[in-house]
Amino acid sequence: MATSPERRSAGLPLLRVEGVTKRFGGLRAVDDCSFAVRDGSITGLIGPNGAGKTTVFNVVAGALRPNGGTVRFADADVTGLRPDALFRRGIVRTFQLPHEFHGMTVLENLVMVPPEQRGESLVRAWFDWRRVVRQERGLVRRAHDVLDFLGLADHRHKLAGQLSGGQKKLLELGRSMMTEARLLLLDEPGAGVNKTLLIEVAEVIRRLNRDHGYTVCLIEHDMDLVAALCETVVVMAEGRVLVVGSMAEIRRHPEVVAAYFGGTGEPQESVA
């Protein structure tokens, strides 16, 4: 699983986005964007629709190659690496709409996540079957532990497609826990989740960070959730970083208040 809390690098940046630019034709979706995500932190990325948040996520996660700038992870230049290579390095990204395998059980959704399983090779399955069985049993035990952690143990044999929206978000987090992830990129973990289950989702994210050492960067439109979880908030506008600070600090920032909080310091619907 993730780096344990005591092994964190004393709050040094785990992720650095440095001068990243991404153009689509004549449109600059991201324009000279720079920010850092401190190791062991929960960092929020907010801004109005079209601010460039998802594009930045896609660049960091390898889904898009930037036209300029650098992405550094754990002091290594990972700019332009493919998603599978970044996954092996410890960057895991979730999506606003969960990507569960709806025809598989909740348990199966977790067990199939770890890469390079011995049972995937026909040769190993035939001639090294004892190790294959041992590995599969270990993965099943790990998946059961994850489901207990998430509060989804009673749903382990249910088809993933039958889960509620909030439960699917929890399952997405569980899939991340089945990897050697260090950085979780969460795309709107609160979207489509009812208020009751949102409390559970928030607590799982908090415990993943606090107790299991995951560093988290999340896009979110629910400002209450951002305020409750995030130590640092990055506000984007028109592809650029407008301001970085705590939620209390950005609520007092004149440009942020005028543009995104309706001049009142309270979140408006335009913030996403």
Mean residue pLDDT of the chain comes to 84
As a whole number of Å, the CA-based R_g of the chain is 19
| 36-40, 87-91, 125-129, range with the lowest pLDDT | 125-129
For 14-53, b/e burial (b = at least 16 CB within 10 A) is: bbbbbebbbeeeeebbbbebebbbbbbbbbbbbbbeebbb
Query: What is the rounded distance in angstroms from the CA atom of residue 56 to the CA atom of residue 171?
Result: 24
Q: What is the pTM of this model?
A: 0.81
Helix, strand, coil % (nearest 5) of the chain?
40, 25, 35
Residue 20 Ramachandran class (φ > 0 left, ψ -120 to 50 alpha, else beta): beta
The tens digit of pLDDT for each residue in 243-253 reads: 999 988 988 88
Q: Is 89 exposed, middle or buried (0-12, 13-18, 19+ CB in 10 A)?
A: middle
% of the chain with per-residue pLDDT over 90: 48
Write the DSSP assignment of 168-189 as a string of letters: HHHHHHHHHHTTT-SEEEEE-T
Q: In the structure encoding, which two tokens stand for residue 161, read together?
A: 């497609």
pLDDT at 114: 61
148: how many CB neighbours lie within 10 A of its CB?
Answer: 11
The tens digit of pLDDT for each residue in 64-75 reads: 999 999 999 999
pLDDT exceeds cutoff 80 at 123:
no
pLDDT band at 259 (very low <50, low <70, confident <90, very high): low
pLDDT exceeds cutoff 50 at 122:
no
The three-state secondary structure class of 68 is strand
